[in-house]
Amino acid sequence: MQVRLPKRTFAEALAMLERIIPNRASNPVLTNLRIEATGEGLRLQGSSGELDLELTVPAEVDGEAVRLVPGHLIGQVVRNLPGELVELGLEGEQLIIDSGSFSTQLATTNPDEFPPLAFDAASVARLPARELGRALARVRYAASGEDYRAIFRGVQLELHPGRLRSVASDGFRLALYDLPLALEVERKFVVPARSVDEIVRVLERTEGDLNLGLAGAHLILAAEGFRMAASLMEGEFPDYERVIPPEFALEVEIDAAALKDSLKRVKVLADRNNHRVDLVFGEGRLEVVAEGDYGRGVERLDVETRGGGSMVLAYNAEYLEGALGPVGGKARLRFSGAASPSVIQDVGDEGYLAVVVPLRV
Amino acid sequence: MQVRLPKRTFAEALAMLERIIPNRASNPVLTNLRIEATGEGLRLQGSSGELDLELTVPAEVDGEAVRLVPGHLIGQVVRNLPGELVELGLEGEQLIIDSGSFSTQLATTNPDEFPPLAFDAASVARLPARELGRALARVRYAASGEDYRAIFRGVQLELHPGRLRSVASDGFRLALYDLPLALEVERKFVVPARSVDEIVRVLERTEGDLNLGLAGAHLILAAEGFRMAASLMEGEFPDYERVIPPEFALEVEIDAAALKDSLKRVKVLADRNNHRVDLVFGEGRLEVVAEGDYGRGVERLDVETRGGGSMVLAYNAEYLEGALGPVGGKARLRFSGAASPSVIQDVGDEGYLAVVVPLRV
């Protein structure tokens, strides 16, 4: 086997795989990268046990071979190589990595020990990779980091006729994103949030369309150069749509960045336990207020209001910041009062909708 | 009291003080910043208990006042202010901070509780602040992070007729820096490494000369705009000069960056316990080699050698990298064999000298 490829291509692929390959694992074979010289290029596989990733990178390949090498070690070696070009070879069970003035021999192991990764699935949908990435990335923040309700540690993907929806919640807040899509199926499944993070990272770098498939309890994503399989969680989200109020008493439009900056400033003074900030709306204006043991902070902002004149609402600042996070330009905020969930939308991206429940004060 | 000053000036000064002011302290008053409106500007004081810092920043001041405010809180507030200009006022015991659309009231406490900071000392030397900063920064890495010998957790400053020397060691390596200086005294004292880090940070931003003084067990540094007092450690370094060999069998000059890059690459393969890398010198060439459980890495470099032809030396890679760290251009390496300490110097900055002991193999 002889393989030649640009260092940068190789290093970038390894960096993505290193994010998935565990440093330690109850099954130690998973700490390895499976490296295969094929007619299609250099094929690299890694698995966390929960998420499998295969990347095939273009390379000059002479002869076929497949070996396992310690995943993080080869990542470190390749990142630090001095030359622009990398040459790989096999001497017995040693993988030789040459680049410029530097030469490495790495011990490899038998590939038969590596769990076979299965990426075959009938395609359920074909869609632009970046749009799926966006749908996942926009809602990811709202997933729970706690064990409180296990299903909320995942992101729900829903396939409906005509659209794909991503949803995340931790029981106190909710984010969803609707993507119009020529679909005919009706399916719901929940992907662990940790896998979602890695899927988003891969999709961000992917041009063009991908195939989305389902095989048993796995979501399969495949496009030119990569294939992924993510184990799905058992169960689905409880009916969340009933928490979204159909009507609102007050609607406000405001520059999202200005409100985020203001929350960041004001929350420094907030109570350390509940992070409470108050939004005090008057005609055409908003005061963002926080008060804690060490003092009080107030910021006055101009806003466009529709509906009821004045209203006072209290929130956990972190939740409000989270909901505004994905909004780039103008945010639309809709309120029904201190006892009802509030809704935040992105004026420039109608697919996004977040629900935040005010604090009871 | 009314004070007006640019946000940036204020925020930069607070950032330096926040590095010293503890988040928690057995004496809670030390978590405060002492803020004083004076005819000379806004005077800010903070103390870690071990290191005291006073910064006086230019400001428009109307009326005098002095209060204590939580140090990290005011730092956070000021960093996030929306305007270019900050206005400070006092309302009773509340410090008012206004900037643009944002207004804060911070609770303050009585300044009498703050320990009086003493910065008075007869000047022992006057020298460029940045040069003292460089002398400290160049050797700091060699100080010990362990409790093994307490005195090695500090940096020794030596005042000799005609020069100032900084020295750090952890018992296995040594770094020193000589700065020619018109001095007449002969004094040695040891500054805790943690204080050295903060002193370096302040000196890097200081133009012009400072006064170096000694008052009791404190080092006092003072210049336009700042005063610092650092508690000194008890004792002094054992006689370290005897570990520096007077003669060498082999002298090598090499681009420091090339050798550092090479060590970084090769050490990935090194034994995880002793981080061993070998330097194998031949006529005009050097091989940097490491070998561990997972394989072997070799890099070949061209070097200029003087003296003995071939020599093989083993080092802890981290120690060699540390010693090369402050060397910008060409490094001079001097070896007397595998059983003698090696010396690393900076060809472009003769003040610097590092000693590294080879591994016994």
Q: What is the pLDDT of residues B160-173, one digit of tens each?
A: 999 999 999 998 89
The answer to whether the CB atoms of A104 and B295 lie below 8 A apart is: yes
> Are B131 and B104 in the same domain?
no
CB contact under 8 Å between A298 and B73, yes or no, is no
Closest CB to B295: pick one of A107, A265, A298: A107
Chain-chain contact of A296 with B104 (C-beta, under 8 angstroms):
yes
Question: What is the residue-averaged pLDDT of chain A?
Answer: 95
Are B91 and B185 members of one domain?
no
Give the tokens for residue A89: 């070879």
Kindly determine whether residue B101 and residue A300, on different chains, have CB atoms separated by under 8 Å.
yes
* A104·B301 Cβ contact <8 A: no
Specify the pLDDT at position A122: 86
Asked if residue A229 belongs to a domain, the reply is no
Residue A281 to chain B, least CA–CA distance (Å): 16
Same domain, yes or no, for A174 and A258? no
Q: Which residue of A81, A268, A294 is in closest CB contact with B107?
A: A294
Contact check, Cβ <8 Å, A102/B264: no
Q: Which residue, of B113, B142, B168, is where some domain finishes?
A: B113
Return d(Cα A304, Cα A295) in angstroms, integer.
29
CB-CB under 8 Å, B105 with A293: no
The predicted-structure confidence for B308-320, as pLDDT tens digits, reads as follows 778 999 999 999 9
| Residue numbers in chain A where pLDDT is lower than 70 | none
- Residues of B whose CB is below 8 A from A261: 80, 82
What percentage of chain B reaches a pLDDT higher than 70?
100
Q: Which of B80, B107, B265 sits opposite A295 (nearest CB)?
A: B107
- Partner-chain contact A269 B101, CB within 8 Å: no
- Point out the domain boundary residue: A113, A143, A177: A113
Q: Is B268 exposed, middle or buried (0-12, 13-18, 19+ CB in 10 A)?
A: buried
pTM: 0.90
Tell me the pLDDT band of B184, cut-offs 50, 70 and 90: confident
B299·A76 Cβ contact <8 A: no
Chain A residues with beta carbon closer than 8 angstroms to that of B94: 295
Closest residue in A to B290 (Cα) is A104
Do B98 and B47 belong together in one domain? yes
Q: Calculate how close chain A gets to B58, using CA atoms only, in Å.
A: 25
For residue A294, the chain B residue with the least C-alpha distance is B107
Show the DSSP H helices in chain B as ranges: 7-20, 71-79, 129-139, 193-204, 256-266, 317-324
Residue B299's closest chain A neighbor by CA? A102
**CB pair distance less than 8 Å for A106 and B295:** yes
Residues of chain B found within 8 Å of residue A103, distances taken between Cβ atoms: 297-299
Residue at A302: amino acid letter: D
Residues in chain B with CB shorter than 8 Å from the CB of A268 are 73, 76-77, 80
> Alpha helix locations (H) across chain A?
7-20, 71-79, 129-139, 193-204, 256-266, 317-324
Residue B162 falls in which region: left (phi positive, over 0), alpha (psi -120 to 50) or beta: left
Whether residue A268 and residue B295 make contact (CB cut-off 8 A), yes or no, is no
DSSP structure class, residue B269: G
Question: From the CA of B17, how many Å to the nearest CA of chain A?
Answer: 18
Identify the CA nearest to B103 among candidates B79, B119, B124, B87.
B87
B51-63 pLDDT, tens digit per residue, is: 999 999 999 999 9
Q: A268 and B298 in contact by Cβ < 8 A?
A: no
pLDDT digits (tens, 9 = 90+) for A72-117: 999 999 999 999 999 999 999 999 999 999 999 999 999 999 999 9
Please name the member of A104, A296, A301 whose beta carbon is closest to the beta carbon of B105. A296
Contact across the interface for A104 and B298, Cβ inside 8 Å: yes
Tokens for A252, please give them.
């406000």
Query: Contact B268/A293, CB-based, under 8 Å?
Result: no
Give the model's pLDDT for residue B61.
97
- DSSP line for A215-246: ETTEEEEEETTEEEEEEPBSS-----GGGS-S
The pLDDT of residue A149 is 86
Whether A213 and A288 share a structural domain: no
Total domains present in chain B: 3
CA B196 to chain centre: 4
Task: Give residues with Cβ within 8 angstroms of B302, minimum separation 6.
Answer: B284, B285, B286
A163, A151 contact by CB (below 8 A):
no
- Can you give the CATH number for the domain in which B109 is found? 3.10.150.10
Q: Is the residue at B283 inside a domain? A: yes
Looking at the structure, do residues B80 and B11 belong to the same domain, yes or no?
A: yes
Specify whether B284 is located in the same domain as B198: no
B→A contacts (Cβ < 8 Å), by residue, are 70, 73, 76-77, 80-82, 94-95, 101-107, 261-262, 264-266, 268-269, 293-301
Instruction: Identify whether residues A35 and A91 lie together within a single domain.
Output: yes
Q: Is residue B118 part of a domain?
A: no
Distance from CA of A131 to the nearest CA of B (A): 34
CB atoms within 10 A of CB B174: 25
Q: Do A103 and B298 touch (CB under 8 A)?
A: yes
- Judging contacts by C-beta atoms under 8 Å, the chain A residues touching residue B105 are 295-297
In a domain, A237, yes or no: no
Last residue of a domain, one of A177, A201, A217: A217
Looking at the structure, tell me whether residues B143 and B62 fall in a common domain.
no
B234 vs chain A: nearest CA distance in angstroms? 39
In a domain, A224, yes or no: no
Work out the minimum CA distance from A114 to partner chain B, whole angstroms: 18
B349 within some domain: yes
pLDDT at A310: 85
pLDDT digits (tens, 9 = 90+) for B277-299: 999 999 889 999 999 999 999 99
Position A227 in a domain: no
Number of Cβ pairs closer than 8 Å across A and B? 95
Q: Same structural domain for residues A48 and A69?
A: yes
Please give the pLDDT value at position A135.
Answer: 97
Residues B269 and B327 in one domain: yes
B202: nearest Cα among B352, B52, B328: B52
Q: Which of these, A162, A199, A156, lies nearest to A182 by C-alpha position?
A: A162
Global ipTM: 0.87
- Establish if A160 belongs to a structural domain: yes
Across residues B142-154, what is the average pLDDT? 89
B143 lies in the same domain as B211: yes
Testing the interface with A: which of B7, B24, B265, B288 to mutate, by most A Cβ within 10 A? Answer: B265
The domain in which residue B263 lies consists of: 244-356
